[in-house]
Each structure stands twice: as C-alpha cells, then as structure tokens.
Structure 1
Amino acid sequence: MSLTPGLRFSRSAQYVLLSNVAVPYPARLPYANLRRRLNSSSRPRAQRPRGSPRTVLRRASTASETKPAHGPPAVSVPFDPKSPGSLSTPRDPIPPESTLNPPATTRPPPLDLPARGPDVSQFSYLFRLGKAYMQFYKAGVKAIFTNRRLLRSVAPPSGTASAGGALPTRAEVLLRARTRHDVSRLPVFGVLLLVCGEFTPLVVIAFPRLTPMTCRIPKQVEALRRSAAARREASFRRLAHLRAARGEKAAGAADGKLVAGHIARSLGLTSGWWDKAGLDSPFASSVADGAVAFLAQDDALIRSGGGVGGIEDAEVMLACEDRGMDVREKEVGELRKRLEKWVRETESSSEEDSKDKVKRLLLNHELLV
C-alpha cells in the first residue's frame, strides 16, 4: 500500500526519535550500520550461554550485584562526570598515592564557563552561562551518589574492622567524611536547585555552607576562604587580648576553654553569630577535641602512607585548609612544605602527646598565616 508524503514523513520522524533514545551517538551516523556488519562478519560469533533465557537474565542481573572485596581506593584520576566511578583495587605493592588521596569525585568538578564574543547577544550568552552552571551542578550531584556507592564497596561500616583487621587508609577516611558532609546537605541544596534553577549561583553565595563540597563554584570557595581567614585573624587578636588581660604569656592546658574557643573559631567549627555576641559556643570544647583528634589521626595516616610527597596538589590545599592555614595566593610548593613541617612536628609515640602538639600548632600564628 502506498503511503502519502505526510504519513511517510511522520513514520520517518518517529523512527528517528525512537532510535535516538536507545542508540548511542556514534551509531546514528550513516556509516555506523555498515561498519557494524563488517566487524561482525570479520570476527567469530560468540556462543550463547547455556540455559533458558530466564537463567541467562538471572545470571546477568546477579553479576552486577556482586560487591568487590574490601581494599583501598585506587589512584584518583581527573574528574569525569560520565564515568561510573568504580574503584579498582591495585595489585601489591600498593602505591602511596592510592592510600593517601581520596577519589577525585569528592572534589568539585571543573567548571567551564563560555566566553562571550563580540557578535554574541546578551540573551544567548546568559542562556549558555546558565546551561554551563546546570551541567556543573548536575555533575556535582551525580558525584555524591557515586561517592556513596564507592563508600559501600570500598570502606567497611563505621566501627568495624576491615579485611585482615587492617586500619582504614587516609583515602577511605576522607571519602567517608566528605560523603557524609555532602549527603547531609543534599536535601536542602536539591530543593534550592529545583526552585532557583539557573539562578542558583546567585543564591548560594549568600548561603555558602549549605552547598555540598562537590557543588561549590570557584567564587563560592574563594568567599569561604576569605571569611575563614578574617575570622581566624579576629580570633588570634581576641586570644592575644585575653592573654594580655590575664597576664599569661601563652594559653596552655590550664585554660582549656580559651584554647578550645580559639580552635573552634579558627577552624570554622561553630557559627559566626557567637563571635558577634562575644561568646564561645557551648559546644566549642567538644567540637575542638573532635577536630584535634581528626587532625592527629590524619597526620598519622599521612606518615604511614608514605608522607606528604604522595599527596596530590589539590589534596595538599585541602589538607592545609583543614589545619587552619591560609591558602590564598600561595604556591602549592610552599603549602606542601608547611604541611610537611606540620606532619613532622606532630609525630609522637603517644596519641595524647600528638594531640597536644596539634593544639600547639593551631595556636601558632606564623604557621597558619
């Protein structure tokens, strides 16, 4: 039966739309089918697995559910939002980078903003700019779910020992900490992203701490670093004033509340509203002790993993930020030297002695500025 031109066009359009859904982009090219026929005819045909179709489907479905054995994350690679994010356990001997650096999906993906040319209209440029931000946020949210899958497959649950009773590596500890940080902020940020859409970058500047780490734009990161440096300087001035008022040369262990309040402020562990009120948070002591214990553990993991030389440049900056150092307008080499000095000075045979050394370094203004 002959078809009218209208029906012929509608059937061809329907075929194109349906084929675009399931077929990848290279297969839609005109010569893709010819190349597939040539390749299939030139190589031997694989045998079909034995069993009924249900058995074959059951095997394929259960194969994807098998979880890999516990092991340290592999060497982190540049962020690729299209990658599944699976980690492969390297063969022995394990390189130091695989145990020191968490996956690249725990950091923000690269943000590629379009450049406005002289012949590009304002509307077209803003449209492309909003599209670039939406792609960035989409990749960041996808990275959070990727990190959750990595955490279930790589690191054991909290409070349990890993395979062979080995202690967790630095990569596993940071993967768990950053994933918890991002997952706790994902519901609020998801609502904000759905409501604001392309205008989200204008809103998150006012609420920088509500954004997951994988979704922070460069301007937001700079704003957080600038406010942290200003708050840290104010905390050091307040500490010096209290020392002078009390006639103390140093804030030692005899005045634990004074030290805990300074650590909580300099590391950004409490809200800035307490600083405006001139008071310390009632939870300053507990959060400061937790941060000191975390830094002492991180220093020990760095030493056991091979030293600062095996840490990536991006992770060196984040490690210095965790220790209250100002990383603005500083080269990575200088920050690496400061981190090496920190890790070397906190080394001790006793855990409590290592924590005391961390507290003394957090009171060292010259090292942190």
Structure 2
Amino acid sequence: MASICIQRARLSQFHPQLPYLILPPRLNHSHNHFNLHLHLRYASSKGKSHARPPSSAQPAEKRVPSTSSTATTTLADDINPPPSTRPADLVVPESLPPSAPAADKLKYYIAVGRAYVSFYKTGLKNVYHNYRASLPIRRSLGIPSYLPTSPPPNLFYAKSKSKSPKSDSNSKSTEKALLEATRTTRSTFQLLHRAAHDVRRMIPFTLILIICGELSPFVLLALGSAVTPYTCRFPRQLEKYRRQGIVRKRAALSAHSAAASGSITHPGFGSDEEMQVLARFVRRDWIARASGEEILRACAALGLAKTHVRPGWMGGLLYRRRLKAYAEYLALDDELMRKGGGVSALEGAEITVAVEERGGYGVADGEEGWEAERVRRRWLEKWLSRSK
C-alpha cells in the first residue's frame, strides 16, 4: 500500500482521466508555444515555400544519473517527425562489482529506479505534448480531435482534377493516378500517427506505473509493446522486440518458401529475394487474392502478428483487413518520404524505424554504428525504388 501511495504521489501531476493530462504551468505554457509552430508549419506546407520555425527545445531533466530530456516537438523539416515522437535517452549508472558493499548496492538500485522514473516521466510528457500539438492539424484535416485513432491514409490525399484514367491491371498505379499526396508532409503525417498510437496506450501504461512502481520495467518488458507508448520504450525493450521480429520473420518466410517452391530455406536477411517477397506482401492486389495462410505469413513477417501458425480462417477474416490498412499506410509513407527528400534526408533514428516497419528486421545484423546505418539506408533506398 505504501508503494502505491508513493507512485501516486510521483504521478500526481497527471489527470486521472487520461489521455487528457494536466501538467505544471511551465509545461502548459511551453506546449502552447510549439503548438503554434506546428500549426504554422502545417499551414505553410500548403504553399510553395516552407518557412522553418525557430527551435523550441524543452529543457533537459536535471536528474542523476539519467539524461532523459523532453525533446522538441518543432517540425524542423518535411520528412523527419519531431524527436519527441521517439524514446528519450536513458542512462543508468554503471553496474557494481559483486564484492561491493551492501550500502553501495542499495544506492545503486535506488539510482537505477530514479533513472527509469525520470525516463518514464519524460516519455509521458512527450506523449501529452505530441497529442496536444496534433489537435489543430487533425481539425484542419477533418479528423475527430478527441478520439485517439490513427487517421486513415486516404484523408491525406487530395483528389486530382484530371479525369479518371481507364482501368488498368495494376490497381496501384491506377490509384496513384487518381490521388495526389499534397495535403501534408511526412513529418506531420508521422506526428499524427505516432501521437494517436501512444495516447491509446496511456491508460494501461500509467496504471502499471502506479501499481508496480520500481518493478514496472520488468512488467513492461514481459508485456511488450501492447501497453507501452513508443516514447516510453527503453533500449532493452526495443532490442527484445527486434529479436522477436527476426525470429517471426525467419519462420514466416521459411513457411512461405516451403509453400511456394517446396524449399524451407530462408532467402537471407537483406537479400533481393527477401525484399521481393516483402514488397509483394504489401501489394493491394496480392492482399485481395491471397489465401488466409498467406495473409498470416505476411502479417508475421511485417510484425502485425506474433506468429503465422494460426487457423487459415483467421487470416482471411481478421488479418486481411489489418494487412490492407498497413499496406496503405506504407504506400503513403513511401510517397511522402520521396517527396520530402528521400532516404538521404532521413535521420539515423528514423532510418531504423522505417526499415523495421517494412519488415527489415535483421538487415544490419552483426553491424554497429555507422556501418549498420549505412546498410539500412541502402536497404531502404532499394525498397523505395521498388515501391514506385
């Protein structure tokens, strides 16, 4: 009971009716500041020129040993969403040797707990700021403002004034001829998408923090991403999700290869054969005619299902619609990415997110630092060239 009271006191700055949170006056004043920048940024994206708003970075949390900070929500360009849509930095103290005194070990664990509390507080603040900043943009697009749903991709398209072309066997090219992505930029699109994604997880995530206290990181590591906003996922949790994605994709693609050619050999991470299969999985004409088993394998390879070993009727009845919506999301994201400057304009952190969203788990396995980023950039460039 005492632990619950302590955690409630730590999170007393948040309103119990989430996702509408009440923060201290200092933060409420700051969110109005960058809200104005985002609104002006979106309005300027409709014209011929784009004025870059001034920086409004939030001050870093002065907690030791964590260096987590509330990142700026200003849209600095047309392709990279604000840093506040990604997890902040988490730095924990160095581990002690086994021979360390008991008092030092106690201080170490207290410092680790404080680092995670600071990290989670920063993540929650970023969720609040991102959602508040997305409200005027949602209203301007005609999206319900107070429903934390991800906006469908068709709302970001403007119908072309040209006459409808004749029917083509390639439905994807026909749809591109009818629609023109001119209503927003990738940075704005990703801000709206990630803000809605994180707000939906606020209530269960905050309840876990209140009830579990310092044990929350272990509970969240076990539950996975279903209840954790993206801004609150610590490095070990992200790495676990990547490892699981690699295992799921290898099993799903091996099963797909066995069903198609009788061979259970995986095509190899990052290979052209693997990309060809992944690109086929997000083609809307393939999704429409694929069997339930094929839909399940596609969803598992793209991270939309935990396993492909499920009854075939579930693929046709439940997962086909999910895969179709995800394919529309990736098609729009690809188009906006090309219009925003391509892969070369993406930040390193955004490269990792974009590659994993397209099923590129394991493409840079065994590489680190700049070499891993270079491999991912090449993979994403090939993907964009295929999805034209």
Common topology (TM > 0.5): yes
Residue equivalent to 1:292:
327
Give the secondary structure class of the aligned counterpart of 1:71: helix
State percent identity of aligned pairs: 28
Shift of the 159–238 alpha-carbon distance from structure 1 to 2, 3 Å rule, reads farther
Equivalences for 1:65-84 in 2 at 5 Å? Answer: 67=36, 69-72=39-42
The answer on 1:199 being equivalent to 2:240 is no
Give the secondary structure class of the aligned counterpart of 2:297: helix
Give the secondary structure class of the aligned counterpart of 1:207: helix
Shift of the 290–278 alpha-carbon distance from structure 1 to 2, 3 Å rule, reads closer
Q: Return the offset for 1:244.
A: 3.8
Shift of the 80–314 alpha-carbon distance from structure 1 to 2, 3 Å rule, reads farther
The answer on 1:149 being equivalent to 2:132 is yes
TM (norm. structure 2) is: 0.62
The answer on 1:212 being equivalent to 2:229 is yes
* Alpha-carbon RMSD: 3.4
C-alpha contact (below 8 Å) 1:100/1:310 kept by paired residues:
yes
The answer on 1:316 being equivalent to 2:351 is yes
TM (norm. structure 1) is: 0.65
C-alpha contact (below 8 Å) 2:55/2:74 kept by paired residues:
no
**Pick from 376, 380, 386: which aligns with 1:335?**
376
- Ranges in structure 1 where 5+ consecutive residues have no aligned partner: 1-60, 90-96, 348-369
Q: CA deviation digits over 1:138-158, x for unaligned, max 9? A: 111111001012212455454
Residue equivalent to 1:57:
none
User: d(CA) in 2 for partners of 1:144 and 1:180?
Assistant: 9
User: d(CA) in 2 for partners of 1:74 and 1:181?
Assistant: 26
Q: Identify, as 1 or 2, the structure richer in helix.
A: 1
User: d(CA) in 1 for partners of 2:257 and 2:383?
Assistant: 23
User: d(CA) in 1 for partners of 2:53 and 2:301?
Assistant: 33
Q: What one-letter code is carried by the residue in structure 2 that aligns with 1:203? A: V
Shift of the 220–256 alpha-carbon distance from structure 1 to 2, 3 Å rule, reads same
Shift of the 279–125 alpha-carbon distance from structure 1 to 2, 3 Å rule, reads farther
Report the number of matched residues. 273
**Pick from 225, 241, 266: which aligns with 2:258?**
241
The answer on 1:266 being equivalent to 2:236 is no
C-alpha contact (below 8 Å) 2:57/2:72 kept by paired residues:
no
User: d(CA) in 2 for partners of 1:214 and 1:76?
Assistant: 20
Displaced runs of 4 or more, over 3 A: 64-70, 72-89, 116-120, 153-162, 250-255, 276-281, 327-330
Q: Return the offset for 1:267.
A: 1.4
Larger Rg: 1
Equivalences for 1:1-369 in 2 at 5 Å? Answer: 67=36, 69-72=39-42, 98-116=77-95, 121-154=104-137, 156-159=139-142, 166-209=182-225, 210-244=227-261, 253=286, 255-257=289-291, 258-272=293-307, 275=309, 280-281=314-315, 282-327=317-362, 328-330=365-367, 331-347=372-388
- Ranges in structure 2 where 5+ consecutive residues have no aligned partner: 1-28, 43-51, 62-68, 144-154, 160-181, 264-276
Q: CA deviation digits over 1:288-335, x for unaligned, max 9? A: 111111111111111111111110000000000000002544410110
Q: What one-letter code is carried by the residue in structure 1 that aligns with 2:256? A: L
